[in-house]
Amino acid sequence: MLHLQTRTEHFTSPLYLESGRILEPFDIIFETYGTLNEVKDNVVVVTHALTGSHHAAGYYEDDKKPGWWDGFIGPGKAIDTDRFFVICSNVIGSCFGSTGPMSRMFPYDEPYRYKFPVVSIKDMVKAQRLLFDRLGLHKVHAIVGGSMGAMQALQFAVSYPNFASKIIAMAGTHATQPWAIAFNKIAQEAILRDPGFKQGYYDPDEVRKEGLHGMAIGRMAGHISFLSHESMARKFGREYRRDDGLFELFGKFQVETYLEYNGFNFTKWFDPLSYLYITKAINIFDLARGFDSLEEAIGQIKAELHLIGFEKDLLFLPSEMIKIHEIARKFGLTCNYLEVPSDYGHDAFLVELEKFDTYVKDALG
Amino acid sequence: MLHLQTRTEHFTSPLYLESGRILEPFDIIFETYGTLNEVKDNVVVVTHALTGSHHAAGYYEDDKKPGWWDGFIGPGKAIDTDRFFVICSNVIGSCFGSTGPMSRMFPYDEPYRYKFPVVSIKDMVKAQRLLFDRLGLHKVHAIVGGSMGAMQALQFAVSYPNFASKIIAMAGTHATQPWAIAFNKIAQEAILRDPGFKQGYYDPDEVRKEGLHGMAIGRMAGHISFLSHESMARKFGREYRRDDGLFELFGKFQVETYLEYNGFNFTKWFDPLSYLYITKAINIFDLARGFDSLEEAIGQIKAELHLIGFEKDLLFLPSEMIKIHEIARKFGLTCNYLEVPSDYGHDAFLVELEKFDTYVKDALG
**Residues A74-116 pLDDT 10s:** 999 999 999 999 999 999 999 999 999 999 999 999 999 999 9
Nearest chain A residue to B213 by CA: give it: A193
Which of B217, B255, B289, B317 best tests the A interface by mutation, with the highest count of A CBs <10 A? B217
Which of B115, B123, B179 best tests the A interface by mutation, with the highest count of A CBs <10 A? B179
Residues shown for chain B: 365
Nearest chain A residue to B240 by CA: give it: A284
Check CB contact under 8 Å for B232 and A190.
Answer: no
pLDDT bucket at B343, cuts 50 / 70 / 90: very high
Q: Are B233 and B290 contained in the same domain?
A: no
Structural domain ending residue among the three candidates B280, B301, B332? B280
**Identity of the residue in B179, B276, B286 whose CB atom sits nearest the CB atom of A229:** B179
Q: Are B140 and B86 contained in the same domain?
A: yes
Q: What is the DSSP string of B63-128?
A: -SS--TTTTTEETTSSEETTT-EEEEEPPTTSSSSS--TTSB-TTSSSB-GGGSPP--HHHHHHHH
Compute the distance between CA of residue A340 and CA of residue A311 in angstroms, rounded to an integer.
6
Mean predicted confidence (pLDDT) in A341-362: 98
Distance from CA of A111 to the nearest CA of B (A): 17
Q: Are B24 and B105 contained in the same domain?
A: yes
- pLDDT over threshold 70, residue B243: no
- pLDDT over threshold 60, residue A292: yes
In percent, the amount of chain B with pLDDT more than 90 equals: 94
In percent, the amount of chain B with pLDDT more than 70 equals: 99
Provide the domain count of chain A: 2
Q: Are B257 and B334 contained in the same domain?
A: no
pLDDT value at residue B93: 98
Number of neighbouring beta carbons within 10 Å of residue B323: 17
Q: Are A266 and A291 contained in the same domain?
A: no
Please answer whether residues B213 and B219 qualify as being in contact, where contact means their C-beta atoms are separated by less than 8 angstroms. no
Give the single-character DSSP code of A353: G
Chain B residues with beta carbon closer than 8 angstroms to that of A253: 178, 181, 283
Compute the distance between CA of residue A58 and CA of residue B344 in angstroms, rounded to an integer.
44
Distance from CA of A116 to the nearest CA of B (A): 10
pLDDT bucket at B184, cuts 50 / 70 / 90: very high
Mean predicted confidence (pLDDT) in A278-283: 97
Chain B residues with beta carbon closer than 8 angstroms to that of A314: 229, 314
In percent, the amount of chain A with pLDDT more than 70 equals: 99
What per-residue string of b and e applies to A292-328 under the rule 16 or more CB within 10 Å gives b? eebeebbbebebbbbbbbbebbbbbbbebbebbbebb
Residue B32's DSSP bridge partners are B5, B87
- pLDDT over threshold 80, residue B174: yes
Catalytic residue IDs of B: 147, 313, 346
Please answer whether residues A277 and A100 qualify as being in contact, where contact means their C-beta atoms are separated by less than 8 angstroms. yes
**Identity of the residue in A18, A224, A286 whose CB atom sits nearest the CB atom of B183:** A224
Q: Give the side-chain half-sphere CA count within 13 A for B198.
A: 8
Distance from CA of A65 to the nearest CA of B (A): 26
Residue type at position B266: F
**Identity of the residue in B114, B221, B238 whose CB atom sits nearest the CB atom of A249:** B114
CB burial class (10 A; 0-12, 13-18, 19+) of residue A230? middle
- From the candidates A147, A225, A231, A274, which is the catalytic residue? A147
**Identity of the residue in B185, B259, B283 whose CB atom sits nearest the CB atom of A182:** B259
Which of B236, B247, B275 best tests the A interface by mutation, with the highest count of A CBs <10 A? B247
Chain B residues with beta carbon closer than 8 angstroms to that of A189: 213, 216-217, 220, 260, 263
Nearest chain B residue to A221 by CA: give it: B186
Check CB contact under 8 Å for A236 and B186.
Answer: no
**Residues A301-335 pLDDT 10s:** 999 999 999 999 999 999 999 999 999 999 999 99
The predicted model scores a pTM of: 0.96
What integer best gives the mean pLDDT of chain A? Answer: 96
Check CB contact under 8 Å for B118 and A19.
Answer: no
pLDDT value at residue B244: 54
Q: A204: cis peptide before it, omega within 30°?
A: no
Structural domain ending residue among the three candidates A280, A307, A325? A280
Chain B residues with beta carbon closer than 8 angstroms to that of A260: 185, 189
Check CB contact under 8 Å for B186 and A220.
Answer: yes
Q: Are A118 and A186 contained in the same domain?
A: no
The C-alpha angle with vertex A268 and arms to A262 and A273, in degrees rounded to 5, equals 105
**Residues A159-200 pLDDT 10s:** 999 999 999 999 999 999 999 999 999 999 999 999 999 999
**Residues B47-94 pLDDT 10s:** 999 999 999 999 999 899 999 999 999 999 999 999 999 999 999 999
Nearest chain A residue to B120 by CA: give it: A247
Nearest chain A residue to B19 by CA: give it: A247
The range of the structural domain enclosing residue B329 comes to 4-176+286-364
Compute the Cα dihedral for B226, A225, B313, B229 and give only its sign.
positive
Distance from CA of A326 to the nearest CA of B (A): 19
Q: Are B163 and B215 contained in the same domain?
A: no
Distance from CA of B268 to the nearest CA of A (A): 18
Distance from CA of A182 to the nearest CA of B (A): 6
- pLDDT over threshold 70, residue B321: yes
Q: Nearest to residue A347, comparing CAs of A259, A188, A258, A223?
A: A223
Q: Are A221 and A341 contained in the same domain?
A: no
pLDDT value at residue A243: 55
pLDDT value at residue B1: 72
How many contacts does A have with B, using Cβ atoms within 8 A?
A: 146
Compute the distance between CA of residue A30 and CA of residue A57 in angstroms, rounded to an integer.
12
- From the candidates A55, A225, A346, A347, which is the catalytic residue? A346
Nearest chain B residue to A258 by CA: give it: B182
Cα Rg, chain A, nearest whole Å: 20
Compute the Cα dihedral for B266, B86, B70, B334 and give only its sign.
positive
Residue B272's DSSP bridge partners are none
What per-residue string of b and e applies to A330-351 under the rule 16 or more CB within 10 Å gives b? eeebebebbebebbbbbbbbbb
Check CB contact under 8 Å for A213 and B229.
Answer: no
Give the single-character DSSP code of A117: P
Please answer whether residues A193 and A216 qualify as being in contact, where contact means their C-beta atoms are separated by less than 8 angstroms. no
Per the annotation, the verdict on A48 as an active-site residue is no
ipTM of the complex: 0.94
Q: Are B324 and B226 contained in the same domain?
A: no
Q: Are B28 and B149 contained in the same domain?
A: yes
Chain A residues with beta carbon closer than 8 angstroms to that of B276: 249
pLDDT value at residue B239: 85
Check CB contact under 8 Å for B253 and A20.
Answer: no
Q: Are B169 and B290 contained in the same domain?
A: yes
Check CB contact under 8 Å for A220 and B280.
Answer: no
Residue type at position A153: A
Structural domain ending residue among the three candidates B230, B264, B280? B280
Chain B residues with beta carbon closer than 8 angstroms to that of A176: 238
Please answer whether residues A310 and A317 qualify as being in contact, where contact means their C-beta atoms are separated by less than 8 angstroms. no
pLDDT value at residue B81: 97
| Tally of helices (H runs) and strands (E runs) in chain B | 12, 12
- pLDDT over threshold 90, residue B347: yes
Residue A23's DSSP bridge partners are A15
Compute the distance between CA of residue B292 and CA of residue B325 in angstroms, rounded to an integer.
19
Which of A188, A225, A232, A246 best tests the B interface by mutation, with the highest count of B CBs <10 A? A246
In percent, the amount of chain A with pLDDT more than 90 equals: 94
Chain B residues with beta carbon closer than 8 angstroms to that of A232: 177-179, 182
Indicate the SS3 state at residue A336: strand
Per the annotation, the verdict on A346 as an active-site residue is yes
- From the candidates A70, A271, A313, A347, which is the catalytic residue? A313
Residue type at position B47: T
In this structure, the dihedral spanned by the alpha carbons of residues B39, B40, B44 and B46, taken in order and rounded to 10 degrees, is 180
Compute the distance between CA of residue B17 and CA of residue B156 in angstroms, rounded to an integer.
15
Mean predicted confidence (pLDDT) in B177-182: 97
Q: Are B163 and B31 contained in the same domain?
A: yes
- pLDDT over threshold 90, residue B229: yes
Q: A318: cis peptide before it, omega within 30°?
A: no
Check CB contact under 8 Å for A259 and B232.
Answer: no
- pLDDT over threshold 60, residue A244: no
CATH of the domain at A318: 3.40.50.1820
Mean predicted confidence (pLDDT) in A337-360: 98
CATH of the domain at B251: 1.10.1740.110
Mean predicted confidence (pLDDT) in B119-146: 98
